[in-house]
Amino acid sequence: MLRTALLPNKTTALVNHMCLGACLALCPEYSFVLEDELGVCGCVTGVQDVRAFIKRCHATWMPAMRDKYPGPRTGPSAVPAHTQDLLLLMEEDQGEYPDSLLHHFPSQLRLDALPQLVDASVSRTLLTALLAALKANGSQGVFCEVQPTDRQRMEFLTKLGFLEILRGEARSREGVVLGRLL
């Protein structure tokens, strides 16, 4: 996903918007990007207040994405049908979290790194910078969603003090929610 930005097609652009766009646009102060000689190879993005972020996404980000990727058309500027499916998925991804989660963990993070990035200290440094920024601005806790099959990421986050707080309950997906008090 990180280096797909080099591919000039609408689906790839939408995937980038889905994965990182809202955070980069609405919370740039909590976005840390790592580059190597080939380009972007890792990033961590954060949201200070998930409730406010979701409202802003619904009010500004999603309308902008619907304008950027309008419904199916014909001709050279046509948007493929699967792009519309991705846009619907992006809207669903801006869903609600339980109050019980957000009471103790009002902030959220997303950590992405290419598999070739074998030096875990680099990812740890990115994550530490984000956690420090969130704490400095008043967050009391942070959570992230991880697929249960992503053992490497779960192990990495657990070593940094994250604990499993929800499994498959936060959203319709089958993710594990890890949280850490700050």
Percent of the chain beyond pLDDT 90?
A: 27
Q: What is the CATH number of the domain that holds 163?
A: 3.40.630.30
Model confidence, pTM: 0.74
How high is the mean pLDDT of the chain? 75
The per-residue pLDDT for 115 is: 65
Q: Is there a contact between 134 and 46 (Cβ–Cβ < 8 Å)?
A: yes
Among candidate residues 101, 159, 129, the one with its CA nearest the CA of residue 44: 129
- pLDDT tens per residue, range 97-134: 888 889 999 999 988 876 666 567 778 888 999 999 99
Lowest-confidence region among 12-16, 23-27, 72-76, 92-96: 12-16
Q: For the chain, what is the domain count? A: 1
Question: Rounded distance, CA 83 to CA 115, Å?
Answer: 26
For 5-56, the pLDDT digits (tens) are 333 344 444 445 455 778 878 888 998 887 777 777 778 889 999 999 888 8
The span from the CA of 16 to the CA of 13, in Å, is 5
Give the residue-averaged pLDDT of 128-155. Answer: 92
Cα separation, 119 vs 100, whole angstroms: 35
Residue 74, domain extent:
2-181
